Copies of this chain bind each other. A is one copy, B any other.
Amino acid sequence: MSLVGRAPDGQTDRMTSSVTYTESPAPSFLFDLDGTLIDSVYQHVIAWRAALAGMGIDLSVWRIHRRIGMSGGLFVSALLRETGLSLSREEIERLQRAHADEYRAQMDSVAPLPGATELLTTLTERNVKWAIATSGNAVTARPALKLLGLPESTPMVTRDLVRHAKPDPDLFLAAAALLDVDPHQAMVVGDSVWDLLAARRAGALGVGLMSGGYGREELERAGAFRVYSDPADLLFRLDELGVRDFMD
C-alpha cells in the first residue's frame, strides 16, 4: 500500500495532513484458567468421569472433555439431556462435590502451562492490564495463584461471584469491570469453545489456545481472532495482538 495520494491538480503529493480519529487503546487481557494458564483440563475430565461413574452414570470421556470450561450447572444439564437421565438437586450437588474431591486428589499433577508465568509478568511489565476469569469455584481455582507464583491480590473472577458462567458473558464482563476497562477493548484468552462464545457475547476479541486439547479448527470456527499453541507461543507473538515492546 502506498501513502502517496493524487492532488486535485493532477500531481502526486505525499499525504501529510493528519486524519482525526479516536485511537484504539492498548488491549487488556482476560484469561481463562484451566487449560489456558494451568495444565489441568485432563485431570478435570478424569475427575468428572470418576464422579459420574460413582453415581452409575457412564458417559464417554470425550463428551466430558468437550463440556469442560462451561458452567458446572450447564455441564450437568447437558449431560442429563444427552443421557436422558434426571437427577435431584441433592444428587447434582453430590455429583459436583464428588468432582471437586476427585480433582483435589489429582491436583499434585497439575503444573503451569509453558510460558504462563512469563506471559503474565511481561504484560505487567508493559503496563498492560489483565485479569483471570474462570468457570471454576474459588475453592478449586484459588490454589492456582500460588502455582503460577501470583499474589492473592491478583484480579480474578470465579464462578461464585457471577450469576452465569461461560458460555454466558458474565465472567468476562465482571473481569473487565474489575480492571475498569471496556470489554470491547479486551482480548479474552481461552482454550475452549465456551470461552470464545462468551468472548463474542461480551463484545471482546477471543484468542484461542490449543493447550486445553481442542484443535485449531474448532477454535477458529468458534470465532477465535487468533489461535496459539499455549501461553509460550502467545508470548512469542504478542505483537500480533497489539502489545508492543514499549507501551505507554
On A, residues with C-beta under 8 Å from B are 35, 39, 41-42, 45-46, 49-50, 53, 58, 60-62, 65, 109, 111, 113-114, 210-218, 221, 230
Please give, as numbers and ranges, the residues of chain B lying within 8 Å of A60 by CB-CB distance: 39, 113-114, 211, 230
State whether A41 touches B62 (Cβ < 8 A).
Answer: yes
Most chain B beta-carbon contacts within 10 A, residue among A61, A65, A212, A217: A61
State whether B213 touches A65 (Cβ < 8 A).
Answer: yes
State whether A215 touches B212 (Cβ < 8 A).
Answer: no
Task: Please pick, from B42, B50, B62, B215, the residue contacting A109 in the complex, using a CB distance under 8 A.
Answer: B50
State whether A65 touches B53 (Cβ < 8 A).
Answer: no
Please give, as numbers and ranges, the residues of chain B lying within 8 Å of A218 by CB-CB distance: 215-218
Please give, as numbers and ranges, the residues of chain B lying within 8 Å of A221 by CB-CB distance: 217
Determine how close the nearest CB of chain B comes to the CB of A119; give it in whole angstroms: 14
State whether B212 touches A62 (Cβ < 8 A).
Answer: yes
State whether A61 touches B41 (Cβ < 8 A).
Answer: yes
CA distance A118 to B210 in the complex (A): 34
What are 5 A-B contacts with C-beta separation under 8 Å? A39-B62, A41-B61, A49-B109, A213-B213, A218-B218
Please give, as numbers and ranges, the residues of chain B lying within 8 Å of A213 by CB-CB distance: 61-62, 65, 213
Please give, as numbers and ranges, the residues of chain B lying within 8 Å of A210 by CB-CB distance: 62
